Amino acid sequence: MSEQGVSVGIIGIGTYVPDRILTNHDLENMVDTSDNWIVERTGIKKRHIVEPEVATSDLAVYAAQKALVNAHVSADELDLIIVATATPDMFFPSVACLVQDRLQAVNAAAFDLAAGCTGFVYGVATGSQFIKSGLYKKVLVIGAETLSKIVDWTDRNTCVLFGDGAGAVVLSEVRSGYGILGIDLGADGSGGDHLKVPAGGSRIPATEQTVAGRLHYLSMNGNEVFKFAIKVMGEAAVKALDNAGMDYHSIDCLIPHQANIRIIQSAAKRLKLPMDKVMVNVDKYGNTSAASIPLALEEALEKGRIQHNDIVVLVGFGAGLTWGSCVIKWCKEENTIV
């Protein structure tokens, strides 16, 4: 990335997870699995699940309200709202428009972004460019998911992995030399079949047969996704660091997508990082897709694991298949949690 022009960073953050918790022991009563099996293979111990009447936009609004308070920004100051999600309330209007209305962000444009679990990083990268160009000053980026709505609770291979949640950040101009210093985004659409919801769109519209065939639930080739993730997580972080003129020695805190503890450990090994420099909370939330990185980022801030001048790397992978990473130099105005 060019070092010229406006510096853009995160000036506020907020997250939300539903109160209802589903533990591995609960899942033992639902499918043929065990707590030991899940923990050994994924690192997940529990996940948060929405009630039936709660939608993705509800979680997004809760997280956004907290982020605005944290940033000391009012909703009418927002110029743009980007929501990254794979589980929108409906095809249209977008979740971002629903959020705009409920926040009364009357001056903001709004759109959704679909990049799977990489969506939050894509959203931060996209939002930052609107500010760097001079078009906008304040951008709200939200990663929000209700994956429990599309998980097949009879499939023991996938239902143990996912949870619901939302995370939001406010992007704005920050002091020169701080904020987002490097970005790497990528995609390999040839792997799209490895992680998808087969039916419900224009290719396979909803019918009695698609519903009976359980084609409206998440389908995943776990082995292929795992191999992809092991390869791409470290590479994406390295490329973003290179774009920032840095290498792995510069990293103070790695915030990876929280999909699987073995994938996170592999990324840390690729970057030659000790695990005490890696934020891990997959045990508490499972894979919350586009919400996982902001959930982990806020927890790292709350625990004091990110300080002024620290180099923070966000990195994720997801459906598409996609990947993305960004390098942030944190400044103290950006890391106060309300």
Tell me what the mean pLDDT of segment 239-250 comes to. 97
Q: What is the pLDDT of residue 186?
A: 98
State whether residue 66 is helix, strand or coil: helix
With bands split at pLDDT 50, 70 and 90, how would you rate the model's confidence at 307?
Answer: very high
Please say if the pLDDT value at position 273 is more than 60. yes
* Equal CATH topology for 8-177 and 180-334: yes
In this predicted structure, what is the pLDDT of residue 92?
98
Tell whether the model's pLDDT for residue 315 goes beyond 80. Answer: yes
Q: Whole-prediction pTM value?
A: 0.96
Mean pLDDT of 54-60: 99
Q: How far apart are CA 275 and CA 284, in angstroms?
A: 17
| pLDDT confidence of residue 5 | 83
Check residue 336 and give its pLDDT.
40
54-68, 247-261, 320-334: the lowest-pLDDT one = 320-334
In the predicted structure, residue 4 carries a pLDDT above the cut 90: no
Region 180-334: CATH code = 3.40.47.10
- Cis peptide bond prior to 321, omega within 30° of 0: yes
Cα gap 120→84, rounded to integer Å: 6
In the predicted structure, residue 239 carries a pLDDT above the cut 70: yes
Q: Is the pLDDT of residue 334 over 80?
A: no
Q: Indicate if the pLDDT at residue 337 is higher than 80.
A: no
Question: Domain residues of the chain, as ranges?
Answer: 8-177, 180-334
**CB < 8 Å & 24+ apart, contacts of 301-305:** 301/13, 301/335, 301/337, 302/337, 305/253, 305/279
pLDDT in tens, 159-190: 999 999 999 999 999 999 999 999 999 999 99
Q: How far apart are CA 78 and CA 81, in angstroms?
A: 7
Average pLDDT of the chain is 96
| Integer angstrom CA distances of residue 329 from 80, 270, 290, 332 | 23, 21, 22, 10
CB 140 within 8 A of CB 267: no
- The answer, yes or no, to whether residue 191 has pLDDT greater than 90, is yes
Whether the pLDDT of residue 312 is over 60: the answer is: yes
Catalytic positions, written as ranges = 117, 257, 287
Q: Do 77 and 100 meet the contact criterion of CB atoms below 8 Å apart?
A: no
Residue whose token pair is 């970005």: 183
Over the stretch 61-94, which tens digit does the pLDDT of each residue have? 999 999 999 999 999 999 999 999 999 999 999 9
- pLDDT tens digit sequence for 102-135: 999 999 999 999 999 999 999 999 999 999 999 9
d(CA 60, CA 94): 12
The CATH-assigned architecture of domain 8-177 is 3-Layer(aba) Sandwich (3.40)
> What DSSP string describes 284-297?
HH-B-GGGHHHHHH
Rounded distance between C-alpha atoms, residue 122 and residue 330, angstroms: 19
What was the pLDDT predicted at 333? 60
